Structure 1
């Protein structure tokens, strides 16, 4: 059985939680800049919830 490394609760400097970070990384996103224009589309990923989307939107606006 393979051990999955802990990828932590932070994605590109944004604290969104481990499940959301893992979901984004598994979907091939490496940074906030890589995310789709419509962040709401990320809600389809298991582990990404409204709070994570809100925090990512805030981070995008601040950059």
Structure 2
């Protein structure tokens, strides 16, 4: 298994994934980094068809 971890530990990190086509994402999971006290406490999930115009994901008017 593998994962992504930023070089610098701060709150300004982001990860962009190009899935190549429109697909349904049914789950997002995070975990801490082995041997470190770094872990995600909150995140913003955004989506785009173009990679330029981004919208924040909402479910029943709740921001996730």
Query: TM-score band (shorter)?
Result: under 0.3
Larger radius of gyration: 2
Pick the structure with more helix per residue. 1
Pick the structure with more strand per residue. 2
| TM superposition score normalised by structure 2 | 0.27
| TM superposition score normalised by structure 1 | 0.27
Relative contact order: is structure 1 or structure 2 higher (C-alpha 8 Å, sep ≥ 6)? 1
